[in-house]
Amino acid sequence: MPSLLKALSSQVGRKLLTGLTGVALIVFIVVHLVGNLTLFGPPDAFNIYAYKLHSLGPLLWLAEIGLVAVFAIHSYIGLSIWWNRRKARPQKYHVYSSKGAPSRQSLSSKSMAFTGVVMLIFIVFHVRAFKYGETTMTSIPGVDYPVKDLKALVITSFLDPVMAFAYTFVMMLLGVHLGHGIWSAMISLTLSNPQRSAAVYTAGTIIAALLSVGFLFIPLYIYFTGGQGALIQY
Amino acid sequence: MSQMTIHLKIWRQEGPDTKGAFENHTLDTVNEHMSFLEMLDVLNEELILAGNEPFEFDYDCREGICGSCNLVINGRAHGPKRLTAACQLHMRNFKDGDSIVIEPARAAAFPVIKDLVVDRSAFDRIIAAGGYITVRTGSAPEANSIPVELEDSTFSFDYAACIGCGACVAACPNSSASLFTAAKLSHLNRLPQGEPEREKRVVAMVEQMEKEGFGDCSNYGECEAVCPKGISIASIAEMRRNYIKATIAG
Ligand code: HEM
Ligand code: FES
């Protein structure tokens, strides 16, 4: 029997890893979205959420290191699968077309590498803008020193049309990535019942759309209400 | 009975190491009841009578059971119809005046031998790596002495329908042989006769498939759509489960 490392780097092992890391990333973005939506809660909710997250200290660092590792493994294997297909078919077809259902070839499945790379580039700018971005200080109840006013940072950022629409665009790509991704991860993680598989495909596209809309609602709402909409309390 | 004119663009390649190119031919005497391969026979006859070289293409049974034919027709393995091998395809699926592009299956693991004929011995080596069972030879065993669950015998039989034509590889954007390998695995793994070698088999056949230069599986599902026997990609998920059980989670 092959060693663990050899098994994980086999074609089956690689898909197991893209599937597992894909699911881990979905869990991460669900938590991230729930956190983001506190923007629409009581006036201090978003900053309190951010404060609580940061007060986790070393636990948060650990989670961040884990997240970077998950992103790295996911991107590396995903892109190498995409890159290696050239080797497996050096001479391309003159004409090629899908035979249609039950094929899962779609805009979504065919653009996994593209949507992935755009998200990867996005993440760099995103972390720089929101994690390391400059903002005013504010106070929150129960904390006797000033904390970063991240709510103000988010709202002023999305008043800028370039930020608001670029963010919206990338969140649409996230939905496209997950349209195939959620189902694909389940097949990689050995879901083999054909009826259940069809149901998971439908559910996957719906969840992908909900996640995408959940994220992109925030910049669009802030931009179109000038940050003064009824859903945001100051 | 209507006669059709069909414009053909067919791949011509002398051998594995030569560069190929398309050749254009027009046939004015195509009959809608001809099979696709009979149409190619007519073309070849014309070529031979005119002193030209005919196109080489693979076939044997011409009834969808041997898996020899594997043409890529207008970009689709076995042509436009689902659950139909190229040899079972009829010209009534095309219209008078249609242009048809015919290419060989393209994959590094399936080198072209000549024209439309590719070398699929990589499949044989995947089978040889583990696609066998250990049984006592001699007289046939009593058929009912080994009970098999209905579900297992049904699935096993469905997977055994794989004719090894290679359409799955031809159609896969990654040139993966996962559907073929998984069908062979599930066919044997589902039966008590295949049980003793289940773990060894899945590891050996997955390894061999990769060694042959087939690509990774991205779950596009195109293989299932082109498979003349409709083998489900559920088999690929089963292959993964068996592999993971045998190695990582064993
Ligand atoms: C929050 C971000 C992301 C989430 C939630 C996510 C989720 C997923 C999921 C669930 C899959 C299916 C896994 C499978 O088929 O087993 C997948 C596949 C893939 N992901 Fe991501 N992903 C994300 C970011 C990225 C990034 C940054 C890249 C690359 C730069 C990327 C590249 C890919 C590729 C290429 C595939 C297809 C792999 C294949 O062909 O088999 N993804 N992703
Ligand atoms: S020639 Fe036998 S399956 Fe087509």
Q: What is the pLDDT of residues A206-225, one digit of tens each?
A: 999 999 999 999 999 999 99
A214 lines ligand 1 (CB under 6 A): no
Token couple for B234? 């559920």
Q: pLDDT category, A133, cuts 50, 70, 90?
A: confident
Q: Which ligand is nearest the CA of A170, by number?
A: 1
Q: pLDDT category, A143, cuts 50, 70, 90?
A: confident
Average of pLDDT values for A29-48? 95
What is the per-residue pLDDT for B221?
Answer: 96
What is the per-residue pLDDT for A203?
Answer: 97
Is residue B47 within 8 A of residue B53, CB to CB? The reply is yes
What is the distance in angstroms between the Cα of B80 and the nearest Cα belonging to chain A?
A: 7
Rg (C-alpha) for chain A, rounded Å, is 21
What is the per-residue pLDDT for A45?
Answer: 94
Q: Which residues of chain B have pLDDT under 50?
A: none
Chain A residues closer than 8 Å to B171 by CB: 99
What is the per-residue pLDDT for B1?
Answer: 57
The residues near B202 (Cβ < 8 Å, ≥ 6 apart) are B130, B185, B189, B239, B242, B243, B246
Q: Render pLDDT for A71-86 as a digit per residue (tens, 0 to 9).
A: 999 999 999 999 999 9
Residue ranges of domains in chain A: 4-86+106-225
Q: pLDDT category, A169, cuts 50, 70, 90?
A: very high
What is the per-residue pLDDT for B144?
Answer: 85
CA nearest neighbour of B67 among B173, B174, B180:
B180
Chain A residues closer than 8 Å to B75 by CB: 93-97
> HSE of A28 in the Cβ direction (CA atoms, 13 Å)?
15
pLDDT at A227 over 90: no
Is residue B226 within 8 A of residue A99, CB to CB? The reply is yes
What is the per-residue pLDDT for B166?
Answer: 97
Chain B nearest-CA residue for A183: B219
Is residue A12 within 8 A of residue B207, CB to CB? The reply is no
Average of pLDDT values for A38-55? 93
What are the residue ranges of helices labelled H in chain A? 4-8, 11-36, 45-54, 58-88, 107-110, 112-130, 150-159, 161-188, 194-225
Reported residue count of chain B is 250
β-strand partners of B102: B10, B73
Is residue A32 within 8 A of residue A197, CB to CB? The reply is no
Domains in chain B: ranges and CATH: 3-44+54-114 (3.10.20.30), 120-249 (1.10.1060.10)
The CATH code of the domain at A4-86+106-225 is: 1.20.1300
What is the per-residue pLDDT for A153?
Answer: 95
Is residue B246 within 8 A of residue B202, CB to CB? The reply is yes
More reliable by pLDDT, A187 or B249: A187
